[in-house]
């Protein structure tokens, strides 16, 4: 964490104070309040569209110079606050997806799938770069994910088991 009592984030310290109802909110003109709300909305939008993809990418590329360790982001001195923040982010997914006409469940499902894929990529990278460092649990996780992928491919395959067996038998007879 930074030594600053209130480090930079999505919002400036003054914008935080505005949202808390302090920092001149009552002395501000309506035009100033509208402008402050507009700037806050712009910062949130830019964070979602530009910053979050960069953060996800940096978390996924564990061994590169521009990577970020998720463990370094977690505030172990305030896990309750950190977990509350994560829960609030899930609630924000609901607010923003509803406001945009999107499907909340689909966003959450696709986000979780994306996170699992990122984890899988990190494990494959770790296995490739330093095979002796991968744990048995990580190998099991990779194996399970591969089996699930194969099951999903089989479900998406319109060919019935009978047709597959018939094709295999026919291919064997051609040899």
Domain layout of the chain by residue ranges: 1-66
| 108 and 89 Cβ atoms separated by less than 8 Å | no
Q: Which residues contact 122 (CB under 8 A, 6 or more apart)?
A: 60, 62
pLDDT on residue 1: 45
In the block, tokens 């319109």 appear at: 158
- Sign of dihedral through CA atoms 163, 164, 169, 174? positive
pLDDT tens digits for range 50-88: 999 998 888 877 667 778 888 888 988 999 999 999 999
d(CA 91, CA 97): 10
Contact 44, 10 (CB under 8 A): yes
> 32-57 b/e with 16+ CB inside 10 Å = b?
eeeebeeebeebeeeeeeeeeeeeee
* Nearest-angstrom CA–CA distance, 66 and 174: 54
pTM score, two decimals? 0.66
User: Per-residue pLDDT tens for 130-170?
Assistant: 888 888 888 888 888 777 776 666 666 666 667 767 766 66
């Amino acid at each position: 964490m930074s030594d600053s009592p209130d480090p930079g984030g999505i919002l400036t310290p003054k914008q935080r104070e505005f949202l808390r109802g302090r920092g001149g909110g009552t002395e501000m003109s309506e035009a100033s309040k509208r402008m402050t709300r507009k700037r806050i909305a712009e910062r949130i939008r830019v964070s979602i569209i530009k910053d979050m993809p960069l953060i996800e990418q940096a978390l996924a590329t564990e061994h590169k110079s521009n990577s970020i360790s998720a463990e370094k982001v977690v505030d172990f001195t305030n896990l309750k606050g950190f977990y509350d923040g994560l829960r609030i982010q899930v609630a924000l997914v609901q607010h923003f997806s509803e406001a945009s006409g999107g499907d909340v469940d689909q966003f959450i499902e696709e986000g979780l799938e994306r996170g699992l894929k990122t984890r899988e990529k990190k494990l494959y990278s770790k296995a490739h770069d330093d095979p002796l460092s991968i744990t048995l649990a990580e190998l099991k996780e990779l194996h399970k994910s591969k089996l699930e992928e194969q099951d999903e491919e089989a479900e998406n395959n319109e060919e019935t088991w009978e047709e597959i067996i018939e094709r295999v038998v026919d291919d064997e007879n051609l040899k």
